A = this chain, B = another copy of it.
Amino acid sequence: MKNDVNRQVLLRARPTGIPQAEHFEVVERPLPVLTDGQVLVRNSYLSVEPAMRGWVSAVANYSEPVPLGGVMRSLAAGRIVESRHPDWQPGDVVVGMFGWQDFAAVDPDAIQTKVTSAEPPLSAWLGVLGLNGLTAYFGLLDVGQPRAGETVVVSTAAGSVGSCVGQIAKIKGCRSVGIAGGPTKAELCRDAFGYDAAIDYKQGDLDAALTAACPNGIDVYFDNTAGAISDAVMKHLTVGARVVICGTASVSSWDPVPLGPRVERHLLVKRARMQGILIFDYANRYDEGRVALAQWVREGRLRYREDILDGIDKAPDAIASLYRGENLGKRLIRIA
């Protein structure tokens, strides 16, 4: 790493499905020059999110797509090394939308949080205290509205969002059932994240496994998949059930929209609800969520795993690798 060069990961082509390594390019650029009111952040950790698929897509979406040739949008954690803003000082540790690059010259509104405590460690601010933990917190509690004693089922249950959902469900007095792919992830669900039951969906009959794991039906389904797993879960909804639509990991392309079993009759007969969550809608409540999440982490009630890649050269393939299911924890890239 050189301190007079800014390595950046640029979006070079717009994928139609999962972004692959070839859609990105790592370039070296001069250090940015600050204008008045800006700060220069030296990034330490870059985040990798499943949602990045949406951020680079030209298809109707919740935010402007990352422009071709632009730095890949990303949450990152780092340290201010230069400031031309009176409220921020060199040495401040910050988390914000700094992009996949060594150095970011940004207005302070790109900063989401100033980190003032060494515990939990900085990397956690991109995962369990970052968008993943916040998505789990608001998605489960605000949209899913679980009540003590209810059964909460989570897909991609060992993932960085799912693992938080399962643990928050337990903290709230629910029965938590995780669905994950493969024996390693199912074991993680049980042993690391305290699920009451874990189902490896690659092992045979998911419907029978759900019946066994959820004898009283499913009151809340936190869904990150939108495919065959969800189709199986829908049959087990209880009256008044809530389905939180958080991600669509098992659908490789939405153009054209793929077919699936219609959900209307399930929703009608069960008077159930399906609702999407986008964490950015909760931006004015992040602090509330982070306070609760950090407290649970410190109390040892909310555990998390990280899967850290070293070096910015790992970034271009990192999203595709998530969708290949290769990570066993929050995927981060450490660059300093």
Contacts and interface: CB of A to CB of B under 8 A. Distances in A.
A108 interface: no
Contacts of A223: 264
29 contacts: A60-B269, A62-B239, A223-B264, A226-B262, A226-B264, A245-B267, A248-B264, A248-B268, A254-B265, A257-B262, A258-B261, A259-B261, A260-B262, A263-B263, A263-B274, A266-B276, A267-B275, A267-B276, A268-B276, A268-B277, A269-B278, A271-B275, A271-B276, A271-B277, A272-B275, A273-B273, A273-B274, A273-B276, A274-B274
Nearest to A235: B60
A247 interface: yes
A167 interface: no
Contact of A258 (B239, B247, B262, B266): B262
Contacts of A269: 54, 60-62, 276, 278
Interface in A226-274: 226, 230, 239, 245-248, 251, 254, 257-274
A281 interface: yes
A262 B251 contact: yes
A53 to B, nearest CB: 11
Contacts of A268: 245-248, 276-278
Interface in A190-223: 223
A230 to B, nearest CB: 7
Interface in A128-165: none
A267 B274 contact: yes
Contacts of A275: 267, 271-274
Contacts of A277: 268, 271
A250 to B, nearest CB: 10
